[in-house]
Every structure is written in structure tokens, then in C-alpha cells.
Amino acid sequence: MKRSAIKTDLFAGDKRRTKLDKLGDPLALLDRHIDFAALAAQVDRVAPRPTSAQGERPPYPTETMVRLLVVKRRHNLSDEQLEFQLLDRMSFQRFCGLSQSASIPDRTTVWTFENRIGAAAAQAIFEGVQQQLDAHGYLARCGQIVDATIVPAPRQHFTREEKALVEQDAMPVDWTPAKRCQKDLDARWTKKHGQSHHGYKLTVNVDVRHKFIRKIQTSTASEHDSRHLESVLDRANTSADVYADRGYPSEKHDALLKAGGYRNRIQRKGARNRPLSARQIQRNARIAQVRARVEHAFAGIAQMGGKLIRSIGQARADFAMTMMATCYNLKRFAHLQSVRNAAG
């Protein structure tokens, strides 16, 4: 009999988990530093957990489902992919507390949970994470940066007549209910740098010091970046500086920031026959050095499996984009905490 490196061991699972910890499990890092029970309590306050009748299967614990949502968004998985990975991956099972469970939430359970709690509960999770950041000393400091990023959605195919109706917020009368469920009437097209994009838009406020996303606003891709500046301003930031790129300057915003006691750090934009002065160019360059930090947040989101969402409609897109920002903050929070602990 030939010798083999493969050896049968009754404790193989335990040994693999030990090696996984040594290699560094990102989900275990989250588990150490995030209070998921507190986040689950936030969800239950917004969307109370349903009770089951005698003999019916009880619902999964809210904390388990919140952890599932984090795994789903952290790796940008569809409901079907999440179900498979929960059955297949040891690290996912351990993080969600399902290692010894005979039952695993399936795709329908995940979809139903998201529908039940809605975007309001996703916002509650986002705000709950903010509270944990503040409690650990990660206050919004050194100013705030406002910017927007396009979040792609599956492209829709309409006839010319259907497109005209959709743009008027109407729906063709010959569409069956089944076809209607597969059509996203809320996502919009826009152009950026000469390229066409279809989907939604996520406007964020990132603090300069820690690069956490402090405020968010969701919209369709066709809405201009500057439209949501006021809604994402953060009064809690310890600095009055507000940074933004050349898509935001306007008399309205200048007056808004002045009235609110903010220091205007919005880049200026030249116009035809009115180019920027040398002083304005230097000012834009200084602002750009700070404003670049918001791009790190967008890159962090893109590294979590990309920004593409697989949902249909504004409501589910709002849920997905809110969880997108939340998971970025969770990932960065766990990283900063591990660095802080390592430093002593």
C-alpha cells in the first residue's frame, strides 16, 4: 500500500478551525470586535420578531440573520449563493453560529427576512454600528468629505414605447405580473466620463480622520451628485471643514455651508472664458489631497465583491446600499481595533 499524506482524524474539524484562526479569519475578527447582539436588538425594535403558532417552525434568531446579511454583503453573494456557501464553508457556519445546527437558512428564508425588516431596519443596523464606533472612541474628526458613487444594477431591456412609459413612471398595460416582477422600473441610466451606467447612486459622508462612512443617502443614478449635499452633512464632526469635488460648487451650497457654520472646502470649477486662477488651482490641489480619502472608502466597498446589486426596485436597492456602507464600516472598525490592540 502506497503511503499518503491524507490521514483520517476524528478531530480533523477542530484542527482545521485552529489553523484557520492562525491564518487569520476576517469573519472571526468581526466576531471579536462587533456586538452583533446589540445590532440584532436594533432590528427587533424597528421590525419586531414574529411569533410562530404551536407546531410551526420558529424563526431563526435575529442575531443569526443579521450575521447572514453581513456575510452576504461582505462577499456580495446572491441569496442562492449564500445558501450554498453556508452549507459549504466552515468559516461562514462558525460566524453565523450554525456549526452544530442541523438546519441552515435557505434562500427563501433570507429573502423573506430582508423583505420583512426593510430598509428602515438596515438603517437601524447602520446607526447601531455608528454607536459602537463612538463608544470605542472613533468619533468623526478633522472634517467631512461628501461624494457619490454609482451602484450598478442589472440592465433592463425595453422597447422604445416601454422606455417612454417607464420614464413617465407608468407601466405598459400588457405586462403580466410575472414580467412586472422581473423589471426594475426605478433604476436609471446616466453618463459619467463619457460612459453609460445603469443603476442607483450612493452619496456618503466620510470623516477625514478615521475614514468611516457617517451619513448616507440613496437615489437613482440619474440624480446629480450635488443634490444630496445637505442631507448628508454631519453636525457631529469635530471640525467645520466640508470637502467635496468640482461637482458640488454652487451659490446655494455656499450659502448653505455659511449658514450652518461650516468652512467651505469645495473645489472650484472653471467655465468657458472664465478659467481658474493660479490661486484657485492651488486651492483645488490642496483639497484634492484630503478629498482622496473618500475614494479609499469606495475602494473598500468595491473590494467586498464589487458594488453591483442584484435586487429589483428602489426599496431593495436602498436596503442593499445601506448594508454596503454598514459592512464597509464593520470591516474597517474590526481592522482599526485589531491594530489598536496589537499596539498595546
pLDDT exceeds 90 at position 56:
no
Contacts of 121 (CB under 8 A, 6+ apart): 42, 43, 46, 47
Model pLDDT, residue 326: 96
**Rounded CA gap, 269 and 61, in Å?**
52
Work out the pLDDT band at 1, boundaries 50, 70, 90. Answer: low
Q: How many CA atoms lie within 13 A of 132 on its CB side?
A: 23
Q: Hey, which residues does 150 pair with through a beta bridge? A: 201
pTM for the model: 0.89
Q: Which helix (H) or strand (E) holds 28?
A: helix 26-33
Q: Is 249 helix (H, G, I), strand (E, B) or coil?
A: coil
pLDDT digits (tens, 9 = 90+) for 315-336: 999 999 999 999 999 999 988 9
- Return mean pLDDT, the chain: 89
pLDDT exceeds 80 at position 167:
no
Q: Which helix (H) or strand (E) holds 151?
A: strand 144-152
Amino acid at 114: E
Model pLDDT, residue 25: 79
Q: Hey, which residues does 266 pair with through a beta bridge? A: 244
Residue holding cell 474628526?
141
Domain boundaries, the chain: 12-125, 140-343
pLDDT digits (tens, 9 = 90+) for 2-16: 777 777 777 777 787
28 exposure class (CB count in 10 Å sphere: 0-12, 13-18, 19+): middle
